[in-house]
Structure 1
Amino acid sequence: MSNKQPDSNWEEFKSKIKKIWQDLSDEELNEFEGDKDKTYEQIGKKYGLSREEIDKRMDEYDI
């Protein structure tokens, strides 16, 4: 990932994340609002992915 942070436009970031990982709920994502590391942790747990795999998918979607 190109170190893009889910900064001031969390809703846009959340929308992009949900396009890749549809099973993440708004509640789950809002729990980590603005915290990239915690968001990655949740994706990893829910989908059984490593940080590298998540980064690769994020890059594919230009997130």
Structure 2
Amino acid sequence: MNRDEAGGNWKQFKGKMKEKWGKLTDDDMTVIEGKRDQLVGKIQERYGYAKDEAEKEVSDWETNNRDHRW
């Protein structure tokens, strides 16, 4: 996959993430920029979840969006 394809995939999944976690801002998405650990951290911050709860949310989301690649 080249850089343009990866960028296009990120844009697609960014929209899906914002559908799932509506409290995430565009600035959050810039910080996350495809990094799973950053996504978990932002979900913890925005939703007040414990780390294990945020990890489970992301794992469940990944299962339902198997074509996503970090």
TM over 0.5: yes
**Correspondence 1:11-50 to 2 at 5 A:** 11-47=11-47, 48=49, 49-50=53-54
Of Structure 1 and Structure 2, the greater helix share is in 2
Identity %: 27
- Give the conservation status (yes or no) of the 8 Å contact 1:14–1:29: yes
Where does the alignment leave 5 or more consecutive residues of structure 2 unmatched? Answer: none
Relative to the length of structure 1, the TM-score reads 0.67
Query: How high is the TM-score relative to the length of structure 2?
Result: 0.62
The 8 Å contact of residues 44 and 54 in structure 1, kept in 2 or not, is answered as no
Tell which has more relative contact order, 1 or 2 (C-alpha 8 A, sep 6+).
1
Q: Cα RMSD over matched residues? A: 2.0
Pick the structure with greater CA Rg: 2
